[in-house]
Chain A
Amino acid sequence: MESMKKVVIIGGQTAAKIGELFASAGVKVAILDSLTDSADELARADIVIEAVDGDGGTRKEVILRCDEVIPPGAILATTASSAITETASLTGRPGKFIGLNFTFNPFQEGCLVQITKGLETAAETIKTCTDLLKGAGVTAIEVADLPGLVLDRVMASAINEAAIMHMTKVATVEDIDSVAKSCLNWPVGPFQFADVIGIDNVLATLEILSREVSPRFLPCRIFKQMVAAGRLGKKAGRGFYTYS
């Protein structure tokens, strides 16, 4: 077997979850919540994954800092779901830059990684990441660098259409969710799903998709209104449903 890769993950909650996934599979992993005082770990890393929760600004800062301090041969990855090529171009290693977007199933066990190839990402970089994930028993797919990748795009289409149905009085939120489960065998209804991932996230995804992929993703008006009113979903106690 090839020498074991040393993985460093940077970030908070998401980083911890990813770290756990690797650690439980016996992969050598270190989790850093900041870049200060971690020079040793970073200097020895084979793969560094930026998994910062929050806005793009912080992500970018972390990525650029890592690019300076990690070994020239190391792979630099981000968990962001868009602009891989663009971010790669800001680093000195576009061939060794890649997207590793982790989605933890919010309803049951399961995790999927969308391995996102930037325009310049080298085949060897993809292979190293694929092997690492395979070795850790994590299901992964390869996707092109396009906003929403696979998961967000398909789900955004369904959620937006459900919202349009609701707003045009085809049926109630409850009845649409009920049909999704009892007629289509879906694990949850589109509105329950939207509440779990956050209405702000749904709106942001639809906005980027409508700008960069197609106007067919034009967000239903309800999402903007809900965000304005603070009905951000489960995390806010209220979205399409009320949570206590």
Chain B
Amino acid sequence: MEIKKICVLGAGLMGHGIAQVCAQGGFEVTLEDIKEEFLQKGLDRIKKFLDGSVARGKTTQEEAEAVLGRITTATSLEEAAGDADLVMEAIVENMEIKKETFRQLDKICPEHTIFATNTSYQSVTEIATATNRPDRFMGMHWFNPPQVMRGIEVVKTERTSPETVAIITSLCQQLGKEPAICHDSPGFIANRLLQAWRTEGLRLYDENVASFQDIDKALKTAYGFRMGPFELADLAGMDVVMAGNETMYNELRSDVFKPPRCLVMKFRAGELGRKTGKGFYEYK
């Protein structure tokens, strides 16, 4: 099967970028969200990104316009996904809402349509149960910002067919991305690895082994990490980091993911990181 039309659900942080990458790859894209204003905001972000690319000489004005020309918008699932070959879902990270959305899509879309979810922490296997096509259902986990990050986690369940995996893997390559195949499991590869690393860094501070500034400095200087565990926690936000830790800890029942005290305390104090102006570090 050849993918020609792609529908992206959700025009937010991830969705708009995913739609842009697909349009840059030459695909016809329909971007769907529940409100017209969300779509407009998503389109504005795409335009801004493309304008920047043109200004830096990375692309031409004509190409940028062609990319935008391949993106249409819709506020109804019927209109957006009715003739899509692939639906990529990037809506709110909530199991029930995701399931309900796929339940509707299962009725709307042709039989051949492949469904992909961009969930970070929800079970792909469970979301797929909302459909009658678990063989054509998988995770496609993008990283922020999708226009820049090369890697995509291609998440297969016990029921995903090898054909579906092959189609999605080759699509990633067509989009200039590096797919990594993984089985449906908590946090997939990236978040599990990141958390094992970051959580241990935070725990060193809990145990007063070193200052948080020194822990960040150590990992950057000795091994060339671009950011340390505390800088990363500030960037993601304590609420997001906490939720991730809790999910992994509950799912895997491994102390590796037990939320460190310093994280819990920052969260409770409302010092969530960059977005509140203060986390482990202060931001002006």
- Mark A residues whose CB is within 8 Å of B: 103, 105-108, 110-112, 114, 139, 141-144, 146, 149-151, 153-158, 160-162, 165, 168-172, 175-176, 178-187, 190, 193, 214-216
Contact A178 B151 (CB under 8 A): yes
With beta carbons under 8 angstroms apart, the residue of B150, B180, B210, B254 that contacts A143 is B210
Asked, given contacts A108-B224, A187-B225, whether A150 binds B218 with beta carbons under 8 Å apart, the answer is yes
Contact B222 A170 (CB under 8 A): no
Binds A, one of B23-31, B100-108, B200-208, B271-279: B200-208
Q: Which residues of B contact A153 (CB under 8 A)?
A: 200, 204, 209
- Mark B residues whose CB is within 8 Å of A: 143, 149-153, 178, 180-183, 185, 188-190, 192-194, 196-197, 199-201, 204, 207-211, 214-215, 217-219, 221-226, 229, 254-256
Contact A179 B151 (CB under 8 A): yes
Contact B256 A179 (CB under 8 A): no
Contact A151 B189 (CB under 8 A): no
Q: A96 vs B189: C-alpha distance in the bound complex, in angstroms? A: 45
Asked, given contacts A146-B207, A171-B181, whether A184 binds B215 with beta carbons under 8 Å apart, the answer is no
Q: Which residues of A contact B201 (CB under 8 A)?
A: 150, 154
Q: Which residues of B contact A158 (CB under 8 A)?
A: 193, 196-197, 200
Contact B226 A185 (CB under 8 A): yes
With beta carbons under 8 angstroms apart, the residue of B180, B214, B221, B255 that contacts A171 is B180
Contact A154 B224 (CB under 8 A): no
Contact B182 A182 (CB under 8 A): no
Could you tell me the distance in whole angstroms from the C-beta of A123 to the nearest C-beta in chain B?
16
Choose among B149, B221, B226 the residue with the greatest number of A CB atoms under 10 Å from its CB. B221
Closest to B219 in A: A154
With beta carbons under 8 angstroms apart, the residue of B178, B197, B199, B256 that contacts A182 is B178
With beta carbons under 8 angstroms apart, the residue of A142, A162, A179 that contacts B180 is A179
